[in-house]
Amino acid sequence: MFGLEISNVTKAFGAHVAVDDVSMSIPQGEFVCFLGPSGCGKTTLMRMVAGLESPGEGAIALNGRDITRQPANVRKFGMVFQSLALFPHLSVGENIAFSLRLQGQDGRQRKARVEELLTLVRLPGMEKRAVSQLSGGQRQRVAIARALAQEPPVFLLDEPFSALDAKLREEMQIELRLLQKRLKITTILVTHDQREAMSMADSIAVMGDGKIQQYGSPLSIYRAPANRFVANFVGLSNLLPVEVLDADTVRFGANILKVAPMPAPTLSTQATLSIRPEDIQLTAANAPGDNTVSGRITFIRDMGSSVEVHLDCDGRDVLSVVQPRDWIGAGTGDVAHLRLPQNQCRVLAA
Amino acid sequence: MTDLALPLKAEDAPPDHDRLVLAGLLSLPTLFLVTLCLIPLFLLLQLSFAHRGTGGLWSPGLELTQYAQLLTPQFLKVALFSFSLALTTAVISVALAFPVAYFISRMKRRAQIAWLVGLLSTLSLSEVLIVFSFQVLLSGSGGLVKALVALGVMASPHSLYPNFAAVMVCLVYLVLPYIILFLYPAMSQLDDDIPAAATTMGASPARAFLTVVAPMVKGPLLSAGLLVVIFTVGSYLTPLVLGRPQQWTVGIIISNAAMTTGNMPLAAAQAVALVSLMAGLLGLVRLLTKGGSPAS
pLDDT-derived band at B281, boundaries 50, 70, 90: confident
Could you tell me if A116 and A96 are in contact, meaning their C-beta atoms sit under 8 angstroms apart? no
The DSSP output letter for B36 is I
A228: alpha, beta or left? (left if phi > 0; alpha if psi -120 to 50):
alpha
Whole-number pLDDT of residue B66: 87
The residue that leads in pLDDT, B10 or A230, is A230
Helices (H), chain A: 42-50, 72-75, 92-96, 98-103, 107-120, 136-148, 166-183, 194-200, 218-223, 228-233
Phi-psi label, residue B49: left if phi above 0, alpha if psi -120 to 50, beta otherwise: alpha
Contact criterion met (CB < 8 Å) for B200 and A83: no
* pLDDT score at A238: 92
For residue B11, is pLDDT > 60? no
Average of per-residue pLDDT values in chain A:
91
Q: List the single residue in B with minimal CA-CA distance to A72.
A: B200
Q: Give the number of residues written for chain B.
A: 296
Query: Which residues in chain A are closer than 8 Å to B196, comparing Cβ atoms?
Result: 52, 72, 79, 81, 85
Using pLDDT thresholds of 50, 70 and 90, give the confidence band for residue B209: confident
Q: Residue A150 and residue B196: Cβ atoms within 8 Å? A: no
| A337 Rama class: left (phi>0) / alpha (psi -120 to 50) / beta | beta
Q: Mean pLDDT across the stretch B245-252?
A: 91
Chain B interface includes A83 (CB < 8 A): yes
Q: For residue B272, give the nearest of B104, B96, B69 by alpha carbon.
A: B69
pLDDT band at A1 (very low <50, low <70, confident <90, very high): low
Summarised one tens digit per residue, pLDDT across range B130-144 is 999 999 999 988 888
Output DSSP code: residue B106: T
Q: pLDDT tens digit string along A49-69?
A: 999 999 999 999 999 999 999
pLDDT of residue A171: 87
* Total count of residues recorded for chain A: 350
Cα distance between residue B74 and residue B102, in whole Å: 42
pTM of the model: 0.75
Q: What is the rounded CA–CA span in Å between residue B272 and residue A115?
A: 56
Q: Which of B256, B268, B263 is nearest to B53 (CA)?
A: B263
Q: Where are the alpha helices (DSSP H) in chain B?
A: 5-12, 16-33, 39-48, 65-69, 73-105, 109-122, 127-138, 143-150, 164-189, 193-200, 205-208, 214-233, 237-242, 250-255, 264-288
Amino acid (1-letter code) at residue A170: E
Summarize pLDDT for A61-117 with one digit per residue, the tens. 999 999 999 999 999 999 999 999 999 999 999 999 999 999 999 999 999 999 999
What is the mean predicted confidence (pLDDT) over A315-334?
89
Angstrom CA distances, A97 to A80, A94, A154, B139, B201, stand at 15, 5, 18, 58, 10
pLDDT over threshold 80, residue A19? yes
Instruction: Give the distance from CA B205 to its chain's centroid.
Output: 32
Q: What percent of chain A has pLDDT over 70?
A: 98
- The amino acid present at A274, given as its one-letter code, is S
State the greatest distance between any 2 C-alpha atoms of chain B, in Å, as a whole number. 92
Confidence of residue B193 (pLDDT cuts 50, 70, 90): very high
Residues 6+ apart with CB under 8 A from B145: B138, B139, B154, B157, B158, B159, B160
pLDDT over threshold 90, residue A45: yes
CATH: 1.10.3720.10, 1.10.760.10, 1.10.10.60, 3.40.30.10. Which one for B69-287? 1.10.3720.10
> Which of A44, A75, A76, A89 should be substituted to probe chain B, the one whose Cβ sees the most B Cβ atoms within 10 Å?
A89
Report the chain B residue with the minimal C-alpha distance to residue A104: B202
For position B22, what pLDDT does the model report?
87
Residues linked to residue A22 through DSSP beta bridges, in sequence order? A9
pLDDT at B290: 66
Q: Quote the distance between the C-alpha of residue A12 and its chain's center.
A: 23
Determine the 3-state secondary structure of A25 from DSSP. strand
C-alpha pair distances (Å), B266 with each of A80, B56, B245, B261, B281? 64, 11, 20, 10, 23
Helical packing angle, B264-288 and B73-105, nearest 10°: 50
Contact A146 B201 (CB under 8 A): yes
pLDDT, residue A340, reads: 92
Cis omega (within 30 of 0) for bond into A218: no
**Mean per-residue pLDDT of chain B:** 87
Question: Best interface-test mutation with B: which of A74, A96, A102, A132 has the largest number of B CBs within 10 A?
Answer: A102
Among B163, B157, B153, residue whose Cα is nearest residue B244: B163
A155 in contact with B, Cβ within 8 Å: no
Chosen for mutation from A52, A105, A133, A190 (greatest number of chain B CBs closer than 10 Å) is A52
Residue-wise pLDDT for A268-298, tens only, equals 788 899 999 999 998 877 666 678 898 999 9
A95-99, A188-192, A261-265: range with lowest mean pLDDT = A261-265
A110 in contact with B, Cβ within 8 Å: no
Among the partner residues A52, A146, A150, nearest to B196 by beta-carbon distance: A52
Is some CB atom of chain B closer than 8 A to the CB atom of A81?
yes
CA-nearest residue to B216 within chain A is A89
Per-range mean pLDDT, top range of A164-173, A198-207, B143-152: A198-207
The whole-number pLDDT of residue B293 equals 42
Residue A27 predicted with pLDDT over 70: yes
Q: Where residue B57 falls among pLDDT bands split at 50, 70, 90?
A: confident
What is chain B's Cα-based Rg? 25
Closest CA to A7 of A26, A24, A19: A24
Nearest residue in A to B191, CA atom: A85
DSSP assignment letter at A91: B
How far is the CA of B79 from the CAs of A241, A326, B252, in angstroms? 87, 93, 11
pLDDT at B190: 87
SS3 label, residue A291: coil
Task: Tell me how far apart the terminal alpha carbons of chain B are, to the nearest angstrom.
Answer: 44
- Sort out which chain A residues have CB atoms less than 8 A from B193's CB and list them: 81-85
Local structure of B90: helix, strand or coil: helix
Largest CA distance in chain A: 78
Scanning every residue of chain B, which has its alpha carbon at the shortest distance from the alpha carbon of A77?
A: B200
Number of C-beta neighbours around residue B6 at 10 A: 10
* Per-residue model confidence (pLDDT) at position B56: 75
pLDDT at B14 exceeding the cut of 80: no
Q: For residue A318, is pLDDT > 90?
A: yes
What's the alpha-carbon Rg for chain A, to the nearest Å?
Answer: 25
Q: Check CB contact of A103 with chain B, cutoff 8 Å.
A: yes
**Cβ pair A201, A30 in contact under 8 A:** no
Task: Calculate what percentage of chain A has a pLDDT beyond 90.
Answer: 69
In one letter, which amino acid is B160?
A: L
Residue A206 scores a pLDDT above 50: yes
pLDDT at A287: 67
Cross-strand partners of A206: A35, A214
Q: Is the pLDDT of residue B7 over 70?
A: no
- Using 50, 70 and 90 to split pLDDT, how confident is the model at B5? very low
A160 to chain B, any CB pair closer than 8 A? The answer is: no
- What pLDDT sits at residue B3? 45
3-state secondary structure of B72: coil
d(CA A216, CA A201): 10
